[in-house]
Amino acid sequence: MIYLDNSATTKPKKEVLETFMKASELYFGNPASLHRIGNDAENLLESARKQIAQILDMDNIVFTSGGTESNNLAILGTAAAYAHRGRHIISSVTEHASVLKPLEELENRGFEVTRLSVGSSGHIDLEDLRNALRSDTILVTVMHVNNETGAVNPIAEIKKILKGTRSFLHTDAVQSIGKVPLDPVNMPDLLTLSAHKLHGLKGSGILAFNGVEPDAIILGGGQESGYRSGTVPVPLAAAMAKTLRITQPNPEFIEWNKTLREFFSSFDDIMVISPENAASHILSVAMKGVKGEILVSGLQEESVIVSTSSACSSKNKQTSHVIESMNMPPTYKDGVIRISFGAFTDRQDIIEFQQAFKKVHGIIKGV
């Protein structure tokens, strides 16, 4: 089975699994306990936190259950903590649902949200951001790499624009960490990560932040310095640190992306949706007059796994909000598939994908 749906989730690396198993066996104590077993667990937890803080160059690391919780904490928590400064937030129309839904909730609470358009480029226009900024803007939340198209937002430039303002920048970097670097000089104030997109484990995420103190959205025992209550799963934290330590960008992604772009250009009914300057590990294309589900099903029959769009919306029969925002011709909107590479992808997978796609395309066209 050729797995090319790594933007939905990734297979955990052996080293990460080994770290998790060892930590689960030897450091099973509650890190909040005062006895030696608890202290040992706390020491491992804080070691993992320190390692991650150094890798990301961020002061505060809060362990969460994943990207969705991290985004919620960043948005709802920051809005609550700084509502006295203003109640205006800026985002984009192509954000993940775990950003869009909290923003909708904030609107219900009386906040005002400006959503920037993207057009065919897939990323926001910096002039639109400048025009949207107001004296009461307290938060700008813009993803780094789009999960459906790979479009890259200029986070460093956004951060520069916000300097001198009272607005914090939150970035969902779930699809970019380990693949598309962030500028260490112009890092966001709040950064969301998820382990299972990096060949780590599901149920493990991070909110990293500097110079901002979001209010807690999960209340209880006050763990994680009060930012996130609940017994901290130390083995997951250790596994997350391991995941980040061994994550390396794969330069072959660029070559494979180029190869597939050239391959798809030979079809007169296939449109490449991902912009030319998109992240190299994600490539979305669409077939004219055909539903993406048919392509996904046909490729699966050839032992190739891809998705229609994001995993969160692929079972939704409506056209993705990301695709709708990019002004695509209507005849292509329903025919989208997403191909995404991971650490276990190799050159042979790309070759076999092309062979399978040719066969499935021919069957659909009746050739």
Q: What angle do CA 79, 80, 86 make, to 5 degrees?
A: 55
Contacting residues for 266 by C-beta, under 8 A, at least 6 apart: none
Residues across the chain: 367
Contacting residues for 123 by C-beta, under 8 A, at least 6 apart: 146, 151, 152, 153, 154, 275
Distance, in Å, from the CA atom of 154 to the CA atom of 176, rounded to the nearest integer, reads 12
- Positions annotated as catalytic residues are 312
The distance of Cα 117 from the centroid of its chain, to the nearest Å, equals 19
Alpha helices in 194-233 (DSSP H): none
Distance, in Å, from the CA atom of 296 to the CA atom of 303, rounded to the nearest integer, reads 10
Running DSSP on this structure, what letter comes out for residue 307?
B
Distance, in Å, from the CA atom of 156 to the CA atom of 360, rounded to the nearest integer, reads 41
Distance, in Å, from the CA atom of 245 to the CA atom of 154, rounded to the nearest integer, reads 25
Which tokens belong to 225? 């310095």
Contacting residues for 97 by C-beta, under 8 A, at least 6 apart: 312, 313
Strand order in the sheet with 270-272: 270-272, 282-287, 336-340
